[in-house]
Amino acid sequence: GAMHVSGNQVSGNRVSSNRVSENQVSGMFVKDLESGEQFRVRGRVVINATGIFADEVREMDNEMAKPMIRTSQGVHLVLDRSFHPGENAIMIPKTADGRVLFAVPWHDKVILGTTDTPVDHKDSDPMALPEEIDYLLSYAAKYLKKAPTREDVRSVYAGLRPLIDVTGRNDARGKSATTSRKPAKTSSLSRDHTLFVDPSGLITITGGKWTTWRHMGEETIDLAENALGRKSEGKKTSISSTKHLFLDGMMVPGGTMRPGDTMRPREAIRPREAMRPSDAMELGDDIPIHPGIPITPNMIKFAVRFEMARTVEDLLARRTRCLFLDAKAAAEVAETVSSYLAEELGRDDEWAKNQTESFLSLSEKYRL
């Protein structure tokens, strides 16, 4: 995985600073975390889409930039489907303290979420607080088929929301936001996104949520096109090429998916539907290496050859979702996965051992 300035997983490199030329941002210095090599990347437009770390990146460009992000933690618990056997999600629109909770079927599991806890730290791998776990379990007991306990949790994970908070001060563009002197609670802060250009030309997109990410991306690219002179203000000259584009390998038994089609969770997780049939046949072994999680040798090989997987974490957390489905089971296959990876990447036994140990340490954060 790659990192930006504060450790956010992005693309394999770490950004150390912005490159400024004639008062305009023109690129950045990055470091390859595998080789240790440092190099400069140039660009006519630089987009700051770094989530909770957007303020830090803006400060690289302008030390006087006013912070605008409040960080809120959301926690999710993963249980077996026996706690919610149905195919439909459950939503609790308002709890006693005004939160929204849900239970969503996911593969052969169910996800419970979420919390809204103000936090001061910014961590690329945050951990759930004990009180957040207790809170979700207590509410789940009221609505699920049976009451879950800590021992029933297959995986627990947390994320940090970049919420926009300009209460009591000027916003990032210098405009007065509100006269209130009290900082808003994170639960009351808007989940809307904000998009703007600093005097240096640095484009920042932050805030928002998963359900609006395509809209956020489209607005950001439109603004970048303006900066490049490829469109007139308010007039779109390019059409999205990805709006109706199928994801690679999106096939179901009997044919190709059409726009609007959905795939049942248990079908979506099957290895041969997760890759092109011809590739799957060439890769061979399609037998799961663990009865509790959906990963096979051919999925490992496919991830390395076609999806640029470089580490055990890549395989078990990003190319598949094994770490999130069952952290204990993912830890149990780490050594096997590292062996396959080492063979595919031409690495030695010492590298494989280090990969296993690194993932085992990570997986502890996802287990209770």
pLDDT at 186: 65
Residues 346 and 322 in one domain: yes
pLDDT at 227: 86
Output the CA torsion 23→4→160→262 (10° steps). 110
211 inside domain? yes
What are the DSSP E strand ranges found in 44-100?
Answer: 47-48, 69-80, 90-92
| Number of domains observed in the structure of the chain | 3
The last residue of a domain, from among 142, 162, 182: 162
Q: For residue 72, with 0-12 CB atoms within 10 Å meaning exposed, 13-18 middle and 19 or more buried, which class applies? A: buried
Q: What would the DSSP string read from start to end of 9-37? A: BSSSEEEEEEEEETTEEEEEEEEETTT--
Q: What would the DSSP string read from start to end of 105-130? A: EETTEEEEE---EE-S---SS----H
Residues 209 and 274 in one domain: no
Cβ neighbours for 136, distance < 8 A, ≥ 6 positions apart: 75, 77, 101, 112, 113, 114, 115
Residues 49 and 178 in one domain: yes
pLDDT at 248: 64
What are the DSSP E strand ranges found in 43-176?
Answer: 47-48, 69-80, 90-92, 101-106, 109-113, 117-118, 155-164
Pairing of strands 47-48, 203-207: parallel
The tens digit of pLDDT for each residue in 160-214 reads 999 988 654 444 443 433 333 445 566 656 678 889 899 999 999 999 888 888 8
Of 13-17, 40-44, 121-125, 150-154, the range with the highest mean pLDDT is 150-154
The tens digit of pLDDT for each residue in 9-34 reads 333 455 555 555 567 888 888 888 88
272 inside domain? yes
pLDDT beyond 80 at 80? yes
pLDDT beyond 70 at 296? yes
The tens digit of pLDDT for each residue in 320-359 reads 999 999 999 999 999 999 999 999 999 999 999 999 999 9
Measuring CA to CA, which residue among 52, 64, 72 is closest to residue 5?
Answer: 52
238 inside domain? no
Hey, CA dihedral for 321, 325, 328, 329, is it positive or negative?
negative
Question: Using 50, 70 and 90 to split pLDDT, how confident is the model at 317?
Answer: very high
pLDDT at 265: 36
8 inside domain? no
Instruction: Please state the pTM of the whole predicted model.
Output: 0.79
Residues 259 and 355 in one domain: yes
Question: Using 50, 70 and 90 to split pLDDT, how confident is the model at 234?
Answer: low
Tokens at residue 2, please?
A: 């790659």
5 inside domain? no
Cross-strand bridge partners of residue 47 = 203
The last residue of a domain, from among 162, 190, 214: 162
Q: What is the separation of C-alpha 75 from the centre of its chain, rounded to a whole number of angstroms?
A: 13
Q: What is the separation of C-alpha 60 from the centre of its chain, rounded to a whole number of angstroms?
A: 24
Residues 49 and 74 in one domain: no
Residues 282 and 335 in one domain: yes
Question: What is the H or E stretch that residue 256 is in?
Answer: strand 255-256
pLDDT at 6: 31
Q: What is the CATH number of the domain that holds 350?
A: 1.10.8.870
User: Could you give phi then psi for residue 238, rounded to 5 degrees?
Assistant: -120, 150
Hey, CA dihedral for 224, 226, 227, 229, is it positive or negative?
positive
Rounded Cα distance between 315 and 54, Å, is 28
Residues 80 and 137 in one domain: yes
